[in-house]
Chains A and B, each alone.
Chain A
Amino acid sequence: MTTEIKERIVGRSIKRREDPKLITGKGSYIDDIKLAGMLHVALVRSPYAHATITSIDASAALAVPGVVAVFIGNDMLDINPLPCAWAAGRVKNNLNTPRALAVGTVRHVGEAVAMVLAEDRYIARDAADLVEVEYAALPVVVDAKKATEPGAPQLHENAPNNIVMEWDCGDKAKTDVAFASAEVTIAEPIINQRLIPTPMETRGSITRYDEATGEFTVWMTSQAPHVMRLLLTAFVFGIPETKLRCISPNIGGGFGQKIFCYNDMAFTMWAARKLGRPVKFVEDRSENYKASTHGRDHITDAELAGTKDGTITGLRVKTYANLGGYLSTIAPGIPTTLYGRILSGVYKIPAAYCHVTGVYTNTAMVDAYRGAGRPEASYLIERMIDRYAAEIGLDPADVRRKNFIQPEDFPYDNGLGMLPYDSGNYEPALDKALAIAGYADFRKAQAEARQNGRYLGLGISSYVEVCGVAPSAWVGLAGEGWGAGLFESANVRVHLTGKVAVTTGSLPHGQGLETTFAQVVSDELGVPYDDVEIQWGDTQGTPFGYGTYGSRSLTVGGTAIKKSLDKIKEKAKKLAAHMLEANEADIVFEDGKAYVKGSPDKAKTLGEIALQASLAYSLPAGMEPFLDETSYYDPPNCTFPFGTHISIVEVDTETGRIDLKRYIAVDDCGNQINPLIVQGQIHGGIVQGVAQALYERAVYDEDGQLLSGTLMDYAIPTAEMSPHIETDHTVTPSPVNPLGVKGAGEAGTIASAQCVMNAVIDALAPFGVKHMQMPASPERVWKAIHQK
C-alpha cells in the first residue's frame, strides 16, 4: 500500500472545476431548460407608477392562435401575497408586499398586471400587446423624504406618511452631548444613489406541476432555493413544504437581486397547477430593470464631531431609506441592522447614534444589493473622516490611524448594538496600501502637478464589514426581526469506492464554491481532490440551508462541511480501531489514514474504512453502516473582514472627466482557501463600487417613469471604463470558525465607492470643493469646478 502523503491544496490558486462546462457553452441556465409541453409567459405591465386598475380586457389576446390562457391578479386571490421575512427589529413595521399579479392598484412602473401563456414566446409577446388595461392614474411620489411630508400621495392605507418603520441604534443622549461640546463638528448631506444590480442573466422561473401527487417542481434563478421552498409553501400557497421541490440551475450572477421571493415563482406555480402544463417565465432586461429589486437609495444627513487634533468624539446620522412601492423579502433589515450597526466602521467612536426612516414610494422595490447596508455605512464614515481631516488640516491617513480600533481591543463592541467585531489589525493593511501607492511621494507629486495645472487626487478607504450572516444570537427571534438564525448545512458521504460526495445548502452562482469546498474536503480527509464532488442547488438531495449571499458561504457553509468532516473522521477512527483491533483512544487520523499512534505503516485508508462501513459485515456493536454525516452550523458570531483601498485619479478640468489612474486594494479576509478566487471576488466588487462613484444612477422622473430603463441609459461599466486593479492582502484569521475565514464576496463593493469619491474630492480641493455626491459624472465635476 502506498504511503504517499497527499499534497496540501488549501491555500493554492488552483483552476476552477466549474469552468470546463461554462467555457464550452455547456452551462445550464434557466432559459436553457426546456420541458415538453411548456408554455411561455409574457407579462402585461403597468405603464403608470401609481394607478387603480379599472378594467382588463383579454379577449383580443385570447383570440390569437397559440394563446392558451390569460390570467390576472383577481384570478389568484386563493394564494397569499409574497411574504416579507425580515421586519426591522423592535419597531412597528407597516408591511405591504406584492401579490403574484397586481390586484386593484399598481404602485410602480412595470408592476405585472396580467400574464399571457402561449405555445411560444413570440406569440406570447404579440398577445400581451393586445391585452387592454384601463387605469385611473393617481398622484406619484418617488423621493423618500418627500413621501413622508404632509400631502404626499399615500401608497398604502396602513402606512401613514408612507412610513414603513422608524428605527434607531446607538445612544442619542450621549451623542447629542458629544456634539454640543465638540471642538469641531461637520455636517454633510450624503446621497447613496439608487442602483440596479444588473447580473448579466436576468431572472426567471419554470414550474412543472404533477397532478397525480400535487407536487410542484420549480426551477428558479435563486440564491436560496430552500428558503424559497419554505416561503412559497408556508406563506403563499399554504401547502406542506414536501409538496414543493426547488431547483437552482446554473445562475448567471446574483449580487443579492436573486435572493428574494418573487411573483414569477408564484404565478408560474399557480398557472402550471391550473393548466396542467409546465410554465416558463424569463424576464427581459427592461423588465428586470423595472420590476426586479434595486439597491441603496439613501438620503442622509451625516454629522461628525471631533477634537481639533483629530480624535473623533461623535457620529450622528439621520437616513431616509427608500424601500419602493412594496416590501421585498428582507428589505427592512438592510438599512437598519446591516447599516446602522456598522456605521462607526474601523474607528473608536465613543458616542454614536443613527435614526432611519424606511419609506414607501412609487418606485421598484429596494432590497439587498452586494454589500447590503454595509456599503452605505462605509461610504458615509469614510467620506466623513476625509471631510473631517480636511476641515482640521490633518493628513487623512493620520486621522484614520489615530482613531483605529487597536488589535488588543478585540472582541470589540462598537456601541451600536452590533455583535463584537471578531478580530482585526487595521494599521498594517493601511500601511501596506500606502506603501504600494507611494504615498510618501504622492503629495509632492500632487503639489507639482497643481502648479502645472494638472489635478491629481488620492482617496483612502479603510473599511470593516460584517458578514457570515447571520448567527441566531443576532438576528434571532428576540433580536433583529428575522425570526430564525441563518445557519448553513452540509452532508458528507464517503462512498464504498472511497469517493466523497458533499451536499450543501449553499448556492454558488460564480463564487467557485465547488472548487474551494472540495479543496477543504480534500485536505481534511486526505483524499484526492478529484475524488470529491460538491453537489448543490436542488432542495431534494441537499440539507436545508439559507443559501449564498452576505459573504457567508465559506464562513458558515464551509464550517458546516468541516463539522461533518470531523464527524466522519470520528466514526472512521472508531471503525479503524475495530479493524485494527486496537483501542479507539490510540487511533490517529491523518492524511487520509487511520492508524495506531506510533504505527503509521499499519494504517487503514479512508477508502478501506468506507468499504468496510458500506459492506457492513463487521462493524463494532451499535455502529450503523456507511460513512454519512450531516451538520447544521449556527455560527456564534459574524466575521469582520477589513482592509484599506487607495485610488489615484486625475481630473480633466475642461471636460470634467475622471481618469482613474490606479486602484490599490489591500484586503484581509482571514485565511484564504484559494487566493485566485478571492482576488476575483475583490476585482468584481471593486468595479461595482467604482461604477457607483463614477457612472451608475437609477433615475425616476416625477411621474415615476424609470428613465434609466435599459443598458443604453444605465451606465454599467465596460472593460474600458474599469481600472486595472492591484491587489495585496494581510491575514488575520477569524477566531469565530475553525477555518479562520472571514468572507470576501462583498468587501470590494464596500470599500470602493468612497475610495474613488475621496480621490475626486481630493483632486478638486484647490477649487474649494469639500464634498460631492455620486456619481462624479463629467457634468457634476465640471460644474463643481466652473460654477460657484
Chain B
Amino acid sequence: MTTISVTVNGKQYTRDVEPRMLLVHFLREQLNLTGTHIGCDTSQCGACVVHLNGVSVKSCTTLAVQADGATVTTIEGLANGATLHPLQEGFWEKHGLQCGYCTPGMIMAAADLLKHNPNPSDAEIRHGLEGNLCRCTGYENIVKAVRYAADKMSVTTAD
C-alpha cells in the first residue's frame, strides 16, 4: 500500500491505495465521487475523463498514485456552487444528453477542448471529442451544446 495525497474538487484527501489502483476507482469507490463513469476497458470511450493538474486525462488508464500531490477536477467540481458551467448549461439547453452516461466525461473533455481552442468550428469540435463516445445522441446536439458554451464563454471573456 502507498499513501497518496490528492486535492479533488478543491478538497484534500489522504488515503492508502494499492499501486495498481486506477484513478477512476479511487474517485468512485474511495471518495464516492460516482459522477465519473467507466464505459470500456481499452481507453476508447472517454466516460472516465477528468482533469489532472488542469489537463484532461482518462482516469481509467491513470493510476491513483500518479495523482499524488496533484489537483483533480471531476464533473462534480465543475459548477461554481449553484451556477452551472456554461458547458453544463449548453448540454441542458441543447439536449446534448439522453441517458447521461457519457455526459460527465464528454463535458470534461469539452472543457479542455475549449481551453485550448475557445472558438472551435463544428469540425474542430467533432475532432476534439474523438476520444469520447456517445451512443444515444448521434453527437448532433453535443456539437450544438459545445458551440453554445463556446459562444457564452467568449462573451464573458470579451466583457
Contact = CB atoms under 8 A, between A and B. Distances in A.
A18 B100 CA distance: 9
B95 interface: yes
B140 A683 contact: yes
A676 interface: yes
Contact of B37 (A18, A29, A716): A29
Contacts of B92: 15-16, 19-20, 23
Interface string A666-687: 0000000000110111011111
Contacts, number: 180
Contacts of A286: 41
A148 to B, nearest CB: 33
A547 B141 CA distance: 27
B97 interface: yes
B91 A19 contact: yes
A719 B143 contact: yes
B109 to A, nearest CB: 10
A253 interface: yes
A189 B143 CA distance: 38
A255 interface: yes
A710 B41 contact: yes
A24 B34 CA distance: 11
B137 A32 contact: no
Interface string B20-35: 1100010010000111
Given A32-B34, A683-B141, A712-B42, A25 B76 contact: yes
Interface string B80-113: 0000100010011101011111111001000000
A320 to B, nearest CB: 28
Interface in B28-70: 28, 33-42, 44-45, 47
A625 interface: no
Interface stretch (A196-204, A267-275, A552-560): A196-204
Given A201-B101, A509-B99, A680-B141, A255 B40 contact: no
Contact of A716 (B78, B97, B135, B141): B135
Contacts of B103: 22-23
A255 B134 CA distance: 13
Interface residues of B, number: 58
A524 to B, nearest CB: 24
Interface string B117-159: 0000011011101111111111111110000000000000000
Contacts of B41: 284-286, 710
Contacts of B127: 719-720
A350 interface: no
Contacts of B88: 23-24
A477 B66 CA distance: 60
A192 interface: no
Contacts of A712: 42, 44
Contacts of A748: 138
B98 A27 contact: no
A687 B36 CA distance: 25
Contacts of B78: 24
Contacts of A19: 91-92, 97, 100
Contacts of B75: 23-25
A200 B44 CA distance: 11
22 contacts: A19-B97, A19-B100, A20-B92, A22-B97, A22-B103, A24-B35, A24-B75, A25-B104, A29-B34, A201-B101, A252-B101, A253-B99, A285-B41, A286-B41, A510-B99, A683-B140, A685-B138, A710-B40, A711-B40, A718-B131, A718-B132, A719-B126
Given A31-B37, A122-B18, A285-B42, 6 more contacts: A15-B92, A27-B100, A29-B101, A253-B136, A510-B99, A684-B98
